[in-house]
Structures are given as C-alpha cells and as structure tokens.
Chain A
Amino acid sequence: AQSVTQLDSHVSVSEGTPVLLRCNYSSSYSPSLFWYVQHPNKGLQLLLKYTSAATLVKGINGFEAEFKKSETSFHLTKPSAHMSDAAEYFCVVSSGSARQLTFGSGTQLTVLP
C-alpha cells in the first residue's frame, strides 16, 4: 500500500521569499516520487521526479526536492518565490507493483506582492 500526506492545504509567501511545501509518504516498496503543478484551468505539469538516483532532485522553474528516507519525506523548495509560482502543487508516489499514481490532496500556493 502507498499513501501521500501533504501537510499544508494552503501556503502563502511573499514574492522573493523561500517556498517550502511539505510532503510525507508511505510505501511498502522503494518509491518513485513526483511533484506536479496545476495552474488555474491548466493541465498537470511535472515539476520533478525522484527514482532512486540522487536524493536531491532539481526540477523546472528553480524548484528542487530532497528525498529523506529516514523521515519518509519529499519536501519541495524554491529559494525565491515568483508571482507565476502561484498554483496548486501535488506530491505523488508510485511504488512496487502499483501501476497508478497516488496523489496527495494538494497544496495551494499563494504568492503575495
């Protein structure tokens, strides 16, 4: 079985300040982990993925995430928020023989001017 918990349903930051979106996962096998972003009225876009290579993963638009097995976490960070980062972010896990992705409930990121 696998599951994902996104610890914050809403996060609000000021433009130019760091972003931290938290994600914890549960998996019976070595997981693959993803972060997807969904802008209003747009499709889901892959930000980055972890598939058992380097634990620090760099994605698009300056985002990165660190896989910490001891903490079962895969938090998403960005050093400096931009207004265009305002969107909903989903942490996703896929592991073992499971063929579908399991999505977290999402974190809505608001960027204040």
Chain B
Amino acid sequence: GAGVSQSPSNKVTEKGKDVELRCDPISGHTALYWYRQSLGQGLEFLIYFQGNSAPDKSGLPSDRFSAERTGGSVSTLTIQRTQQEDSAVYLCASSPRLAGLTYEQYFGPGTRLTVT
C-alpha cells in the first residue's frame, strides 16, 4: 500500500515568509508525528497527534510553529515568519498506535526547507 507522503519535497523561502508543509499518513494510522532533522544532527520531535485527543505540542520550538490535523488524516505544519535557523528537513511519520502499545513509526521522505 501507499506509504507516508509529504509535499513539497523541497521548499525555498525568504526569511520572514510563512510556509506550510503537508503530510498524508498511511491510511488507517491513528497516530501522526512531526520531526525536524537539522544538518548533522539527529531527529528532534515537534508534535504528535493521536486520534481525536489534544495534540502533544511539547516539542514545538517556538510559537511561530503550529500544526493541525484535519479529519484525523492529513496534517499541515505551519511555520510563520521563517528564520534561517528553521532550515532543516521536516519529517512526518504515522503509526497504527493502539492504547497501551507502541508500534513502529513509518516515515515520509521529508520536506527540505531552506530559508534564505
């Protein structure tokens, strides 16, 4: 079946502009995660959605970052007033997480964001 998809694959934007990154999880996966991978570093957790529960936003680095998930499926990560330090690869993952269990996460190919 289809995996996690993300769009765009690459995004170049000017400092101060807003950007929206999209994630389409695997059909039927209830959990959705956003991560950021900066050059030469590991992955940094940003935000987590599970079903209809309130999202876990504990990883968002500033209030310029926000995300929503409509209809329990597609998610959009928005970065307002982008800064050069926001340049990174943004990865989305989904998981068929069930209560009390942890399943592996399936990652999309990422969106490479470059802020000039």
Which residues of A approach B to under 8 Å, CB–CB? 32, 34, 36, 42-46, 49, 51, 90, 94, 99-106
Contact across chains for A43 and B110 when beta carbons are under 8 A apart = yes
Which residues of chain A are within 8 angstroms of B97 by Cβ–Cβ distance? 99
Contact across chains for A105 and B41 when beta carbons are under 8 A apart = yes
Nearest CB of chain A from residue B47's CB, rounded to whole Å = 9
Q: Which residue from chain B places its CB closest to the CB of A36 in the assembled complex?
A: B107
Nearest CB of chain A from residue B52's CB, rounded to whole Å = 15
Give the segment of B11-19, B60-68, B72-80, B98-106 that binds chain A.
Answer: B98-106
Partner of A32, one of B50, B102, B108: B102
Nearest CB of chain A from residue B114's CB, rounded to whole Å = 15
Which residues of chain B are within 8 angstroms of A90 by Cβ–Cβ distance? 42-43
Q: Does B96 belong to the interface (CB within 8 Å)?
A: no
Q: Which residue from chain B places its CB closest to the CB of A104 in the assembled complex?
A: B42
Complex Cα–Cα for A12 and B32 (A): 35
Complex Cα–Cα for A34 and B56 (A): 22
Contact across chains for A105 and B104 when beta carbons are under 8 A apart = no
Contact across chains for B42 and A100 when beta carbons are under 8 A apart = no
